Amino acid sequence: MSETTELAFKAQELDAGDELAGVRSRFVLDDVVYLDGNSLGALPAAVPGRVDDVVRRQWGELRIRSWDESGWWTAPERIGDRIAPLVGAAAGQIVAGDSTSVNVFKALVGAVRLARLGGSVRDEIVVDATTFPTDGYMAESAARMTGCTLRPVTPAQVPGVLGDRTAAVLLNHVDYRTGRLHDLPGLTAAVHAAGAIAVWDLCHSAGALPVGLDEHGVDLAVGCTYKYLNGGPGSPAYLYVRREIQHRFDSPLPGWNSHAEPFGMRPDYEPASGALRGRVGTPDILSMLALEAALEVWDGVSIDAVRVKSLALTDFFLECVAEYVPPGRVETLTPVAHEERGSQVALRCSPTLGSARAGGTPIAGEVMKRLIERGVVGDFRRPDVLRFGFTPLYVGFADVERAAGVLGETLRGDLAGY
């Protein structure tokens, strides 16, 4: 029996023992191997019908009555409570709405204000130097607004730079390029030991692995819902505010939706109680309720089971890549150790098409283009990274074996000489 056949047979056995295999039917899928759920999750089957109802009946027939009768007004906190168990939070601490970028800004400025309560002189924001660009942009703006110095460092360097001037620390739970999982419990503890406020970006971990916001005492957290939570393109993000600090959280965007008496139309602002302080303007109801329908795929699903399958999928992918891809063609950037790995695998594919000295095109972009043409969808990050995201709710082990096989064939074909 060839090794190729052995790995295909192993994939069949793993799929046969997969306790989450039945969840796949809750999505609209085809014969494409979809490994880009770390950018945009697949469509849950319940969403089209729900959106049709929202548009035709709730908006088309009930119209403005739907703010009360269809529950539009309470959607942000209701959906927040639906997200809460997926990130290890009790109800009443998450509000859905706005974009990740807006929520990062709210959280960071709010964190600095929290750190300065009681007259403390704290004038530095520490930010992950490898962060997704929007987090860095927002951190820079928040620093200007609050009169802070911005200090970009790698997550590993964070404990060594914390001090009595540190106000807030913004970190990514999983690195978007490499899939590296950072030490949320340990880094949060270090931030608290320095008297600062911990803010975490969960975009690449929520819905893929346990987070433990309450367990680890995270102060503030933000995240998107269109990746592993499958909420749809541009679906609302969310803001977590730990219960113990909610009464002191001072949002820099005090919109009418976060007012204690929003329909009082008072000229003076009085913040609502609880996580509702994180609301700003009128909720985006169409995308909000599409997200609510999408979250139904999590009914009866354990995030711990998702993590077990995620690690098994990524382990198997690395095994298949090692067997199918010619030696030296790719380098794995994602940590092998389970405690340091998210739910994606990043492979560096660094040779160039054409002369490197003449500014040749990195081969990775062409490789991904050809994978997509053959029904394996991942994505490419400049200059030379192939990213493959593994959503355990709908990705199977046969998908993984096929993807690695197509990658190997692509790099052994007419690109073999590069």
Catalytic positions = 132, 201, 226-227, 387
Both tokens assigned to 97: 């709405």
| Chain centroid, CA 415 distance in Å | 33
**Sequence-distant (≥ 6) Cβ neighbours of residue 166 within 8 angstroms:** 115, 122, 124, 125, 126, 191, 194, 195, 196
Find tokens 């009418």 and name the residue: 256
Question: In whole angstroms, how far apart are CA 147 and each of 53, 144, 248?
Answer: 48, 5, 20
Element (H, E) at 386: strand 385-389
Find tokens 């060594």 and name the residue: 160
3-state secondary structure of 83: helix
Find tokens 């019908």 and name the residue: 49
Q: What is the distance between the alpha carbons of residues 282 and 411, in angstroms, rounded to a whole number?
A: 50
Find tokens 């054409």 and name the residue: 354
**Sequence-distant (≥ 6) Cβ neighbours of residue 244 within 8 angstroms:** none
Element (H, E) at 223: strand 220-223
Question: In whole angstroms, how far apart are CA 228 and each of 76, 86, 339, 340?
Answer: 19, 11, 19, 18
Find tokens 């991942």 and name the residue: 378
Name the E strands within 209-308.
220-223, 238-241
Residue 171 bridge partners (DSSP): 200
Q: What is the distance between the alpha carbons of residues 172 and 200, in angstroms, rounded to a whole number?
A: 6
